[in-house]
Structure 1
Amino acid sequence: MRKLETKTIVVASHNAGKIREIAELIAPFGFSAKSAAELKFEEPDETGTTFEENATIKALASARASGLPALSDDSGIVIDALDGAPGVYTANWAEREDGSRDFQMAMEKVENALQEKGADTPEKRSCRFVSVLCLAWPDGHTELFRGEVEGTVAWPPRGTAGFGYDPVFQPQGYETTFGEMTSDEKHGWKPGDKHALSHRARAFKIFVETCLEA
């Protein structure tokens, strides 16, 4: 495992919600970070079939374009009753013909698909959020960190916090959705804590333990 020895990195993303969450997670470690969106890097084609492959594509593109280490996230919701869909195509389900993304539409697609499957009880609506972080260096070296959190698909959507599918994701053991939680509640983790709640915070915790701590 390669340690991250610089405090300057690129967040390899154009997703405002994702950039904000990663910025919140890295802030306690004193990172100076800019996003691929700020640097006006082109978004690479995500041609992978796994979260790991797509995270690597994004991180390497930003690392090579910037000459700095880059941290990416590829994440999505995996729904058992839909045979794992939308999975790596989570963002694609939100795409409109004009190229914009509408996650209300995406959540409705998920609900319609579940209704067609007769998934009308919490036991039939099990799912998990998956996040894979990739830290890439300009020389092509990469490190991968995967986090998952189990839950159920709630309906109707609840809460206006978070982004993406957060309003319909109810983590196991909680009465609220990610969309109803503050950032601190959703992440459930800060440096020094043993546990993390969100998929991204769990992946980030492994990243910290692997690349930042001695």
Structure 2
Amino acid sequence: MTHTILQHPRWVLASNNQGKLAEFRNLFTDANLDIEVIPQKQLDISDAIEDGLSFVENAIIKARHASRISGLPAIADDSGLCVPILNNAPGIYSARYAGEHGNAQNNNAKLIQTLQPYREAHSDTPIIGHFVCVLALVQHADDPLPIIAQGLWQGEILAAPKGDNGFGYDPLFWLPELQKSAAELSSQHKNSISHRGQAMHTLLKQLLNA
């Protein structure tokens, strides 16, 4: 048995990120789902105002916004980096941690600077971080039962960037089991183990086993 939302042949993605769009399309193709995923920009949908206090709230806000304007089912992604010793900052503000939205270099620099006192006080203890991804899927704008899928990816936060691949905080996200940073992984490898990859596969399981 599969979820009734799969009967809708077109969904809108509440994002203009081409990487996310490609990941969704590949996932659905691999699962033999005949669904066309359309980025919101293609439908002249503006970005939603993300005024929630959690990844879940913001993902739902974005999905409802895109669905209300398009009249289609909508899927949204809200993701970021949580560092427990910083009370899970930068969290939902990950993309604008240093003030300017999407400036990865400044965001990384601020995180390094903020963590420096902890490193000096506990030089032998790794600083743990979690990449978080929450996906929200709604059948319509007022859907009372959104489908939610979450992925968590644990690593350690480096004192300096390492690697040239990926984006965002990837150069600071160290994977001790691989002895590489997220920015040293191929896109295919990263997508298979990352927070977003985990959330997408969890979402797919919910859709196919509803």
Task: Give the alignment's TM-score, normalised by structure 2.
Answer: 0.86
Alpha carbons of 1:85 and 1:184: their partners in 2 closer, same or farther (altered >3 Å)? same
Equivalent residue for 1:11, pick from 10, 13, 18:
13
Equivalent residue runs for 1:18-33 within 5 Å: 18-28=20-30, 29-33=33-37
TM-superposition CA deviations, 1:10-42 (whole Å, max 9, x none): 111134444444444344344311111332311
Number of residue pairs matched by the alignment: 203
Letter paired with 1:201: G
1:154 aligns with 2:155: no
Match of 1:71 among 47, 72, 75: 75
Check 1:121–1:101 CA distance in 2 against 1; reply closer, same or farther (3 A cut): same
Bigger radius of gyration, 1 or 2? 2
**CA 1:34–1:56 in structure 2 vs 1: closer, same or farther (change >3 Å)?**
same
- Note the C-alpha offset of 1:68: 1.0
Distance 1:11-1:175 versus aligned 2 partners, 3 A rule: same
Cα 1:206/1:164, change in 2 over 3 Å? same
Distance 1:3 1:209, change over 3 A: farther
Distance in 2 (CA, whole Å) between partners of 1:162 and 1:91 is 14
Aligned residues of 2:21 and 2:37 also touching (Cα < 8 A): no
Q: What per-residue deviation string (whole Å, max 9, x for no partner) do you get for residues 109-142 of structure 1?
A: 0000000333664734101111000001225221
Distance 1:68 1:55 in 2: 16
- Establish whether residue 208 from structure 1 lines up as the match of residue 204 from structure 2: yes
2:183 pairs with 1:179: yes
Q: 2:188 aligned with 1:198, yes or no?
A: no
Q: Select between 64-73 and 3-12 the one with higher mean Cα deviation.
A: 3-12
In the alignment, what sits opposite 2:86? 82
In 1, the alpha carbon distance for the partners of 2:111 and 2:24 equals 26
Contact 2:81 2:131 in 1 (8 A): yes
Distance 1:126 1:61 in 2: 34
What 5-or-longer segments of structure 1 have no aligned partner?
189-196
CA distance in 2, matches of 1:87, 1:101: 14
Further displaced range: 146-155 or 170-179: 170-179
Other structure's SS at 2:125 match: helix
